[in-house]
Amino acid sequence: KGAWEGSVVRYCTGYEWNFVIDNTAPEVSVSGDSFVWVSGKESDVVIAGKVSDDCTGIKKIVWFTTQKNVTSEEEEIVAETTNVAEVQNGAYTITIGTAPTADTNYYIYAVDEACNIAETHVEYHVDTKGPEVTVELEKTTKWWQRVFFNKEEITVILTADDADGSG
């Protein structure tokens, strides 16, 4: 693991060859939460993060909605040209045109110049149902659909429930 730099001078040809052996994957992370609640009505999804590679440098950042095996699907990751993020000064931004309408994972792959690959991901969960609110009044008297109270202080109990939702 790690990088090894060296050079070989070929006396018989007069050429000098410089080479770097880089076996270390880059580092990639997501800014903010990797578990995100959305309503499904957002205009787009923006994923931002940091990327670094101390040896050969970053070649590109690509993303998919299905997880790739960095060993067996390396060629597909390296060859990707559609889902490519902008990278500037160690930061990347992915803008996806439409927000997911169902739970979706975005898998992000950093590829360095030696084609070493690192992975991170973001989970987007869609919550389309609003919370339910229940109101209870303590000791009420109803008369013609009006509520009357016979004391100066009343207790109002509010209960909210967002079962299986974003909270």
Average pLDDT over residues 130-157: 62
At residue 161, does pLDDT exceed 80? no
| pLDDT tens readout for residues 34-61 | 999 888 888 888 999 999 998 889 999 9
What pLDDT, on the 0 to 100 scale, is given for residue 20?
Answer: 76
Proportion of the chain above pLDDT 90, given as a percent: 46
The region that residue 131 occupies, defined by phi over 0 for left and psi between -120 and 50 for alpha, beta otherwise, is beta
CA separation for the pair 118, 151 (Å, rounded): 67
Q: What gap in Å lies between CA 86 and CA 80, rounded to an integer?
A: 14
Q: Is the pLDDT of residue 1 over 50?
A: no
Does 4 or 92 have the greater pLDDT score? 92
pTM: 0.74
Report the mean per-residue pLDDT for the chain: 82
Q: How far apart are the first and last CA of the chain?
A: 44
pLDDT for 132 equals 81
Tally Cβ neighbours within 10 Å of residue 55.
18
Per-residue pLDDT at 33 exceeds 80: yes
Average pLDDT over residues 138-146: 51
**Highest mean pLDDT out of 7-11, 85-89, 127-131, 138-142:** 85-89
